[in-house]
A = this chain, B = another copy of it.
Amino acid sequence: MIVTVIGVGLIGGSLALSLKQQGLASRVIGVDQSPAHLQQARALGLIDEAQPDLPAAVAGADLIVVAVPMDAMLTVLPRVLDLVTERQVVIDVGSTKAALLAAVAGHPRRGRFVAVHPMAGTEYSGPAAAAAELFAGRTLVICDAQGSDADALQRVETLFRQLPMRLVYLGGAEHDVHTAYVSHISHITSFALALTVLEKEREEQRIFDLASGGFASTVRLAKSSPAMWVPIFRQNRLNVLDVLDEHLHQLQRMRELLAQEDYAAFEELIRQANHIRRIIQ
């Protein structure tokens, strides 16, 4: 199978590597608006060929992966669908789905498109951040699967099961609600934590001296790229605002109990938070 990856960054590059290492892709063609990234992806072995011409890159592929930031996705995906035939399959790997699915809802080639979201990533970006083992054992969400042709859906399912990934099916709007709760809010809290510490702790050496694994863990996502995350927050704005308001409420509750020295109720909140142990190992 020949795979074209549009956007050879963390996710596109990692998928290219995974497919090659599992023997699922015989050849990977890379497309990227950054010539430097394309060159780097080639040097790192993520892709076998850099093809600056989008129609040519699409024409030669069995599977086309669109892995660009969410704002660019809204224009690149319809352009790719304009180019594909009934024998090709297109996937995105984006973090929000409702706007994207709406953008291609009436497209004559909608059936060739399967909307997927691999629940994996790191705080780094670009081709150098790509890793073959990023997806193994993780969840792949497939959205609005009923909008895809049966053969296209089945090819995508078979492919990702071999990485291996666990498949979960959600509606596009439902996906955006749940990912706001479970993924997007974590990035907001981590960015805000970094801003807080950088504001309060003006001596950077002290942060370095005192940072334990716990602090590093909570602030890790604050290294994430704005080029990737601003479009996600923009497209999932209402869901993110909703969960952010709940988060502000929970923090205010903890603050008030601490201010009033109501340690019994404060401890009860921590015990409730501990319930996350049941879910996250």
- Contact (A233, B196) CB under 8 Å given A218-B190, A280-B220: no
Do A241 and B255 touch (CB < 8 A)?
Answer: yes
**Which residue of the partner chain B has the closest CB to A233?**
B258
Do A230 and B267 touch (CB < 8 A)?
Answer: yes
- Contact (A209, B139) CB under 8 Å given A186-B218, A247-B192: yes
A151 within 8 A of B: no
Do B193 and A279 touch (CB < 8 A)?
Answer: no
- Set B192, B206, B275: member contacting A254, Cβ < 8 A: B192
Give, as a whole number of angstroms, the nearest-CB distance from A72 to chain B.
15
Chain A interface size range:
35 or more
- Set B207, B237, B243, B254: member contacting A182, Cβ < 8 A: B207
Cβ contacts A to B, 22 pairs, < 8 Å: A121-B212, A141-B209, A181-B200, A182-B207, A182-B210, A183-B210, A185-B196, A188-B251, A188-B254, A189-B192, A189-B193, A191-B273, A196-B246, A211-B280, A214-B220, A216-B280, A222-B276, A223-B280, A224-B274, A241-B255, A241-B258, A244-B258
